[in-house]
Structure 1
Amino acid sequence: MKIYEDTDFFIETEESEIPWLKIFTQIEYKELSDLPREKRLRLFELYDIVEVEMINYFSPDKINMASFANMLPRVHIHVMARYKNDSYFPNPMWGEKQREAKLDLASFELFYERLQKRLEGFTS
């Protein structure tokens, strides 16, 4: 589900037991260094907003940032709120499952609404 979009970027949710968002560039740049400098800076400003809002709302044990882009060869950043008792911790979410988790987290939908409001002034 897309929760934010402007002329340069969009943010989608990833279906998961943990809060997990993906930030994409609108133009399908292959490498981060392919982005014009101003867009790289804005990408990390956007990332910072998402990370801080995720920390403040969900109080995770750790935020994970990932950008492998081997399967989807375009610039995008995964932002994940991790918990010591999530199903995969301390492994990456793509790793070996460690346990069956029963996380009691605040509403993802309310977080998306909160983030959308926070991003209203971020448009390019």
Structure 2
Amino acid sequence: MRAAFPTAVTVEIAASDRKPAVTKSAARKTTLATVDLPLLFIEIHDSEIPWLKIFVRRSVREFSECTAVEKTAIWDALDVIEREMLDYYRPEKINIASFGNMLPQVHWHIMARFKEDSYFPEPMWGPRQREGVLALPPMEPFLENLRRKLLPES
């Protein structure tokens, strides 16, 4: 059973006004939402589990090519997302990974994992272990919490 994530929603937050603008789009297949930050953007991957991807806005292939400010922004975003996932979804474990073999652009995956998901304890791109049965809360309140934490009012 798939989680109750939005069908295809793009959420853009302009750095200048810090206010979200939401638009619906059926064209995106693997991404359900985007949160724009000055140095990064965060996408929600279409999955049965809460799965976000954090991208550096500049075109860089390796983490070592990121500036110190970009690296700090990535670590801060990972920290906020992990804490919010743990608090909101109460997963068994959080998985964080950076590969970039298929997409040679610096990005990080952060996933909330559950014993009941289809792949646990294997990685999400590994062999399916069972038919997952998850009853997760809706994604929208989680996204709002992230926006509040990542884009504090100036």
Q: Same fold (TM over 0.5)?
A: yes
SS in 2 for 1:121: coil
Larger Rg: 2
Shift of 1:122: 8.7
- Give the alignment's TM-score, normalised by structure 2: 0.76
Judge conservation of contact 1:54–1:81 (CA < 8 Å) in 2: yes
Judge conservation of contact 2:50–2:111 (CA < 8 Å) in 1: yes
Q: What's the CA shift string for 1:40-75, capped at 9, x where partnerless?
A: 122101110011011000000000001111000010
* Match status 1:2 vs 2:36: no
Query: 1: CA distance between counterparts of 2:79 and 2:99?
Result: 19
Where structure 1 has 5 or more consecutive residues not aligned to the other structure, the ranges are none
Amino acid at match of 1:97: R
1:20 corresponds in structure 2 to: 51
2:29 corresponds in structure 1 to: none
Identify the match of residue 42 of structure 2 among 11, 20, 23: 11
Aligned residues: 123
Where do 1:1-124 residues align within 5 Å?
A: 1-121=32-152
40 and 103 in structure 1: CA distance in 2 versus 1, 3 angstrom threshold: same
Runs of 4+ in 1 over 4 A off after TM superposition: none
Shift of 1:110: 1.9
Where structure 2 has 5 or more consecutive residues not aligned to the other structure, the ranges are 1-31
Q: What's the CA shift string for 1:4-31, capped at 9, x where partnerless?
A: 1122100000001100000001002100
- Give the alignment's TM-score, normalised by structure 1: 0.93
Query: 1: CA distance between counterparts of 2:153 and 2:125?
Result: 31
Q: Percent identity?
A: 46
Judge conservation of contact 2:40–2:73 (CA < 8 Å) in 1: no
Judge conservation of contact 2:96–2:109 (CA < 8 Å) in 1: yes
